[in-house]
Amino acid sequence: MYTIGVITTNHPKRFDTLLKTINSFEKNETKDIKKILSVDKFPTIETDFSFFSNFEQMGWKVVYKDHTGKNSMVTNQQNLLNFVDTEWLLYCEDDVVLRDIPSVDSLKKILTKETGFVSLNAHVHEFPTNDTIQYCKQNKNYTNIDDFCLLKKDKEIFQHKWYFNFPSCFVRKQDLGFILENASNNYCNSHYSIEEGLSYSWLLNKENQYCDYIILKNPNLEKKEILQEIHDSAILGYWNNDLTTRIEPVNKKASMWF
């Protein structure tokens, strides 16, 4: 039904966090799911192939691509997609920990033909208004599916700049490929980060009538700090809810732009 795809680099400073990410997948019920790791090779760093072979022994397909500069995160994602042969992809970066993954039976109810993407990052809005906060407190904006809860991403409420965001999400291979190409063609050498470019490409696609969601587990909508509660209810540990994921980027995020 879906493929797990993780991107990383050959920089040794990422190895410890990558191990945590990979192990978090292995602890969940993903034994029968195809898993791919795409490695961005910096030319000034000798690749430790023996380190990455450990993941191959765990059943991961490890693929490599040369660093391409400013847009290298984009080309790493595109390289990953080249090896995906399922409709859906669970995309993930190398500095998060998966706390939970829905079962295949649950995903059949979540990833319907009406679903566009499901973000595991519970980011709502950088500068939330009262409308944003009130929206997140209303039960009608949530759908319970088995052990999980989906918060619908209303395009009128949620911040457009990082509407389609990472570090992890369920998305169709075809749709991610389309917005990567669209953003690359339209925002090349712009000031847009990868998430900005992909968000604008997603929202400007007039044929896109999908419903988009944030996936959570047991959020308490009565909490005063509702936006932090949403972060804390995410099914992954990441920058906003897990201090151990806050590590220095490889090259000051210089490779995360169009």
Q: What is the dihedral of CA 162, 166, 171, 175, to 10 degrees?
A: 50
Q: What is the model's pTM? A: 0.96
Q: Which amino acid is at 57?
A: Q
What Cα–Cα distance (Å) separates residue 97 from each residue in 162, 166, 198? 21, 13, 23
178 within 8 A of 172, measured Cβ to Cβ:
no
Question: Tokens for 191?
Answer: 């000031």
- State in Å, rounded, how far the first CA of the chain is from the last one: 31
Domains contained in the chain, CATH given: 2-245 (3.90.550)
CA distances, 65 to each of 123, 185, 195, 198 (Å): 30, 20, 21, 21
Question: Number of helices and strands (H, E) in the chain?
Answer: 8, 11
What is the pLDDT tens value at each position of the chain, 258 positions in all?
A: 899 999 999 999 999 999 999 999 999 877 789 999 999 999 999 999 999 999 999 999 999 999 999 999 999 999 999 999 999 999 999 999 999 999 999 999 999 999 999 999 998 888 889 999 999 999 999 999 999 999 999 999 998 999 999 999 999 999 999 999 999 999 998 999 999 999 999 998 867 789 999 999 999 999 999 999 999 999 999 988 888 888 888 888 888 888
